[in-house]
Amino acid sequence: MRISIVNPNSTRSMTETIALAARHAAARGTEILAYQNDAGPVSIEGHVDGALAVPGLLHALAIAERDGADAHVIACFDDTGLEAARSILKGPVIGIGEAAARMASLVARRFSVVTTLSVSVPILEDNLARAGLSGLCASVRASELPVLALEADPEAANDKISEEIARAIDQDGAEAIVLGCAGMAGLAAELSERHGVPVVEGVSAAVKLMEGAVTLGLKTAKRGGYAPPSPKDQGFVYPDGMVPARAEVEA
């Protein structure tokens, strides 16, 4: 099977980190097709960045499906453009935020999310409520690390995230931790060992969930909320004509 993973931002080093984590998680026989949104912001931190990223993200996802992807992963913890993506694609689609939270709910009664900046907290809380998972979430905590700081100083970033995890466990009663940024993909195993609780990162969780969906032969429903958009008379094209914003990342 083929699974696409699309980074909605334009930072290539992050795309490469995401692709590496996805390929590490993938089962034998699963091919990961990695793309990035070259027309997007360098990082997604808040509502404005997310809105600006959506056209290029949808364009990249459309190309991924045309390239033969059976399922798709949106590699931003805000689940940027997820509902729109489900409306234009045939294969199943998941964002890494929803994937990580659903996976954490399988191994703990209460989990906390540790993300980057406070501006993202309301977005993540709204997403959890929409997915029906807010009742299982003990807290959404911000480490106040900008997304790009995860790459600029990984050791310092790891320490700040670890401090917030400790607070979530001690103060909020978290039994598991969800890492709230695609740039944290490589940290889960070490942080789980350090704190003695399950730590879930969304890239790997999303790949495994999409492998399961493809194995079951599932497609996205095309009735109701995920029905495809109707043609427009003003020359607007869905979705390949949106923007020239795509770059595939090789293994």
**This prediction's pTM:** 0.90
Q: Which two tokens stand for residue 239?
A: 């979705």
Q: What is the per-residue pLDDT across 83-116, written as a single tens digit (0 to 9) for each? A: 999 999 999 999 999 999 999 999 999 999 999 9
> Do 230 and 46 form a contact (C-beta atoms < 8 A)?
no
Distance in angstroms (rounded) separating the CA atoms of residues 210 and 94:
8
Give the pLDDT of residue 20.
94
> Which domains, ranges and CATH numbers included, belong to the chain?
2-96+205-249 (3.40.50.12500), 97-201 (3.40.50.12500)
Give the pLDDT of residue 148.
79
| pLDDT(142) > 70 | yes
Q: Which residues pair with 33 in a beta bridge?
A: 4
Q: What is the per-residue pLDDT across 161-213, written as a single tens digit (0 to 9) for each? A: 999 999 999 999 999 999 998 888 888 999 999 999 999 999 999 999 999 99
Q: What is the per-residue pLDDT across 120-137, written as a single tens digit (0 to 9) for each? A: 999 999 999 999 999 999
